[in-house]
Each structure stands twice: as structure tokens, then as C-alpha cells.
A and B are shown apart, each in its own frame.
Chain A
Amino acid sequence: MAALNQPLADLAADLTGPAAARRPSGLRASQRRRLNAFRYVAFIVFGLFFLLPLFAMVRFSFEGAKPGTWSVAAWTQIVSYPGPPPLLSSIEITLELAAISSAVMLLLVVPTMIWIRLRVQWFSKVMEFICLLPLTIPAIVLVVGLAPIYNKIERYNVSALMLFWAYVILALPYAYRALAAGLAAVDAKTLSEAARGLGARWPTVMFRVIVPNMWQAILNSLLLTVALVLGEFTVAYLLSYVNLQTNLFEISRSSENAGVLFSASAATLLFAFALLLILSYVGRRLRRGRP
């Protein structure tokens, strides 16, 4: 991006003269070049920081039994894992968990936030505090608190889908931040007053005036919730439920091939990437034609 910007900015400077080129950013050309150089360096450093471990993980998963040889055994063993439960069923459960958690999250948080914004503004600080609280509680503490409740639930012999209660709590801070940013970008007060004046009842104001203007934020919070559920291990493992992550962990443990741990992790990551890409593509398609 920065690489593209610089020649364009130079071209603009040539066309409009030095004064016009300076005006937008208020920076001199030399300052801007330095800023761009900084951008490159930061981008490369952080890129390496994220990509190197991933690269190492994938590389290790393809290593053969003897040093210097290559094999896909670690990858085939994921699929051939007999269970219980088989890998496909844990994928299904995780996807269902992602869907349920996202739906509950949105139904719970979106109307509440809009209502607070429009009608009980003084409560917004309390809401923010409650929503951000899960960030400050370590997963292990959360599990200790949740365990007695889940012990009771287990008596009714319900599936791992019951994890959604915990996942909604875990995803709350991220979803809240995304939605709050989206809501802040909408002049909700004026829009709601205009709609009220035209005869709209409160539900109409909420779902036909405010919500359609925060699709982007809703999609973002959806992506974050799904990403969190796809990557969740601690709570599921400690409460002894099987989801994709705990299943992959079991596969890697029961296999003699250490590479399986890494192929399984890489597979999860790829799976999550693919799913998130699909979600954001669908989101873009939905928004097409809108401002």
C-alpha cells in the first residue's frame, strides 16, 4: 500500500506544484519518505514475527521420520484418526458452536447497545465495563467458576453445544468493541428522532433504521466471535468437552508421530482462515450496492 502511495503522491506533487502537495498531510516530502520507510520496516518486522512460527510449524509437519526426508504422514493421520469422536463430528460441533454463539451474541448485544445508546445513555459506561470484564478474567478462573454449573448441566446429558454459554461470555469483549465502533459511526440519535417523527415505533427504529447502518460492525463482531470459537481450547478441555481443538490435541497425543501435533494445528488454522475468508466474502457480497 505504502509502496503504491509514494509514486502517486510524487506524481500529484509534480502535477499540482509543491504547495498543493504539501497541503493534505502538512508534511514535507522528506518527512513523508521517512514515515513511509518506517511503515515498511514495521510491516516487515511484524510480518516476520507472525509468519515465521507458522512457517516453522508447517515445515515441521512435513518432515519425515528420518532427518532430511519429507512425508505427508502427519497430515494423513489426522483424517485416518478413528475417534472417538471422529474428526468430522468435532468439526461439525465446532461449526455449530460458532453459529450458536454468534447468533446468541448478536441477539443479546445489538439491541441492548442500541437501546442504551438511544434511551439510557447514562448506563453505557456500566455496559462497557460488564462487556469488557471477561478480558480481565483468566480462562482458568472462568472455568473454576463455570465448572459447578456445567456439572449440573451434564446430568441432563447434553452435548458439547452447551459450551456456547461460556463462549458468549468469552467473545463478549471483542464483539462489544466492534459493535461500539460501528454504533459510534452512526448518528443514532438524529436518525432515531427522524424516524420517530415519521411515525416509527421503537422496534422499527432499531431494526429498520439503526441496524442496517451498522452491518459492517455486525459482520466484524461476527468474524471475531467465530474466530474465537474456532480457536477455543482451554474452556472446552478443562470442562471435558470435545470440540475441534481438543480433538486435534487428542489426535496429536495418541499418535506416535510428533508431526501430527503440528499438522493438526496448521489444519485448524487453515480451516479458520478459510471460514473467515468465506464469511467476509459473503459480507462483501451482501453489502454490494450499498454506500
Chain B
Amino acid sequence: MTVEPDRTRTGVEVQMQGLSRSYGTVRALDNLDLTVQAGELIALLGPSGCGKTTTLRLVAGLEDAESGTISVGGRDITRLPANKRDMGMVFQAYSLFPHMTVQQNVAFGLRLRGMGTAARNKRAVEMLELVELATQADRYPHQISGGQQQRVALARALAIEPQVLLLDEPLSALDAKVRAQLRDQIRRIQLEVGITTLFVTHDQEEALAIADRVGVMRAGRLEQLASPTEVYSRPASAFVAEFVGLSNKLAGTVSGSTVTVRGQELPLVDTSTPAGSVTALVRPEAVTLASDSTGDSGPLSGTVIATTFLGATSRITVDLGDTTILAQLGTSEATELPAGSRVTLTIRPDPVLVSAVETAASEE
């Protein structure tokens, strides 16, 4: 989605300070500080158990923080019960009330707020129009598809005009195509409404596509909080680099502000890296391949052993003798390099991240 963020945002700022929460001996959240700016969409990304859902549930008031504070628009809500927090939430599991029609579901929160029948029905229909489901208003949840149910859940969450929108992996139960459509729709609506949003996901593609900023979490802490492009191209740690996108791990030697990988000098993301042997993380799309008929056997030549077709692009695995490397090319280029062809490769001099050899080994 390439919609420019709406700068006339109306949302409020959400501030979390020193949030901690444990389950038994497991520290799910460890002293988390995070500020979501007014109208911003932050995607919390990480493997399961990293604390991203816990963060969301603490903000929603569905769990209590052991320490730390949460404030919304400058008001401390840490001790406020969930039903007084004014948050709209969409869950991973289908959460529509099965005994109510789609319209009754959307109007439920308004009814609790004492809005009159006519007014709340009007608003419910408006919200259903926003998610393009006005024609399904009289159906029951079990009569509509999973994607539609999640859209109704979004309409229901937004109907009460919450201060903050919380999305807890709302797309993970849906199939790929519906998922991409709904993801774009969520972003469009979020920009339209201008609501401050926290979006939890374990799908990096989803996070990069939808968010203003992506927070990569690991073991209850934020590893990096930055724009999608920065998280992808300048990952703050080896963990982020490996979690967001694919990386080739290649042996290299650091000297000064460059690292030498298979005879090629590449700039470093972190120029203060001490000299020595390292593992360099190289993105597949930074690797270009050219057909090689000379039969040369330098460190940058190898043999194509497999091609994975991904649609517009293809991913090629090249055997370099002592290791293999992944390269991502346009599909038309890739078809000219069938399995068994000899190739020479070039690594584009993008700044790369390195990790010490020992650390990389211990993280396996």
C-alpha cells in the first residue's frame, strides 16, 4: 500500500513506560518503553512469545501490568478496567457475538453507551459502509466468510469512536489473498479515520506493508523501532536482520569501515565494529547473478542448484563450493539460469550488518 500518511491526524498519543509482565517464571514483557504518536500505526512484530500480544492486552486492559504506566492522550489509564478504556480491539479469533446480526454486533458498543435505536442503527450502517459490508447487515456471523467477519469486527471496534485501535493478528486466520486485501483496507480506513493504532503480527511482510513504524520485539523487549524501510535496510541487530526478510550468512573479515566477503568489499551498517572475523548478513536481492561460460572457479562463481518461483521474482540457490547463497532476481532473468548453469555473482555494496562469529553460532 502506497497511501501517503494523512498528516491531518486526529488521534491521541499512547505512551507506555517501563511496562513489565510475567507469566510464572517467563518474563513476557521486560521494562518496555514505547510511544505511539497521534494517528500513527505501529506494527509490533516478533516471533511467538516475544511479548507483542501481551503489550496489546496490557494497553486494552485485558491484563494487568506488574509495573510501569500506560497513558493515552496524557491521561494515565494503567489502573482503569478494560470497559472504561475506550479502545477498539479486533482479535485473532473470530469474536463477533454469534447470537446477534452483523448490524446488532456493530451497534452493541453504542447500545451500551445509551445511544438511541435510530442513531445507533444509522451509525452501524455507516460503519458497515466503511468496511463495504452494508449489504450483509441482517446476516448472522456464521452466514458470512472469515474475512467478512473480521471486517465486521473492525467496524464494531471503530463504531464506538475509540481513542486507540488495537489489532491482535486480525488477519492470521485468513487465506493469503483475503489477507492482503483486508490489510490494505485496514490501512486505508486507519488513515481515513486518523486513529492511533497498534497492530500485532508475526508476519513481517504484513508489518512492513501496513505500518508507519515497525517495532521488532524479542523476549519482552523492543529490538528496534523504526520505519519499515529502515528496519529492512538498516536492521539494528542480527536478530532483526534475520527476522525481517531473508539473509545469507557469509563469512567475512572486518577492517576499518568495511567488511570483505568472498573478496568483495562491502560497507558496514555499524562502522564501529571491531576488526576480525565475522558473519555478514547479505540480503538475497543484493546478490546479482550473471551467466559464466569461462569455467572460472573464483570465490564468486558457483552452480545454480535450485530455483523457487515467487511470481514476479524468483529465488535462486547457488552452490559456491563451501557454502550456498540465495539470490533474488526478476523471473525473466532467472529463467535464463536453469539448474546446473555456472554463474558468477556480484554483491551490491549495500551496507551490511555483521555479527560476531561466536554469537551467530550460539544463536542457532
A199 vs B113: C-alpha distance in the bound complex, in angstroms?
8
Contact with B along A199-239 (1 / 0, CB 8 A): 11100100001001100000000000000000000000000
Decide if A193 is an interface residue (CB 8 Å cutoff).
yes
A21 vs B82: C-alpha distance in the bound complex, in angstroms?
50
Decide if A187 is an interface residue (CB 8 Å cutoff).
yes
Decide if A79 is an interface residue (CB 8 Å cutoff).
no
B91 contacts across to A, CB distance below 8 A: 190, 193-194
Q: With A197-B88, A197-B157, A200-B83 given, is the CB distance from A190 to B95 under 8 Å?
A: yes
Tell me how many residues of A have a C-beta within 8 Å of chain B: 19
Decide if B140 is an interface residue (CB 8 Å cutoff).
yes
Do B99 and A187 touch (CB < 8 A)?
no
A213 vs B95: C-alpha distance in the bound complex, in angstroms?
13
Secondary structure call for the A interface: helix
Decide if B218 is an interface residue (CB 8 Å cutoff).
no
The residue that A195 contacts in the complex, of B94, B108, B141, with Cβ under 8 A, is B108
A291 contacts across to B, CB distance below 8 A: 98-99, 140-143
Q: How far is the CB of A183 from chain B (nearest CB, A)?
A: 14
A212 contacts across to B, CB distance below 8 A: 97, 99
Chain B stretch 94-137: residues in CB contact (< 8 A) with chain A: 94-99, 108-109, 112-113
Chain B stretch 61-87: residues in CB contact (< 8 A) with chain A: 61-62, 81-87
Q: How far is the CB of B200 from chain A (nearest CB, A)?
A: 14
Q: How far is the CB of B303 from chain A (nearest CB, A)?
A: 41
Do A191 and B95 touch (CB < 8 A)?
yes
Decide if B160 is an interface residue (CB 8 Å cutoff).
yes
Q: With A213-B98, A291-B98, A291-B99 given, is the CB distance from A197 to B93 under 8 Å?
A: no
Decide if B326 is an interface residue (CB 8 Å cutoff).
no
Decide if A196 is an interface residue (CB 8 Å cutoff).
yes
Decide if A158 is an interface residue (CB 8 Å cutoff).
no
Task: Please list the 5 inter-chain residue pairs (A to B) with the smallest Cβ-Cβ separation, ordered nearest first.
Answer: A198-B109, A194-B95, A196-B82, A197-B89, A212-B99
Q: A193-B62, A196-B82, A197-B82 are in contact. List 14 more A-B contacts (CB 8 A).
A: A187-B93, A194-B89, A194-B97, A195-B108, A196-B61, A196-B81, A197-B62, A197-B157, A197-B166, A199-B83, A199-B109, A199-B112, A204-B112, A209-B97
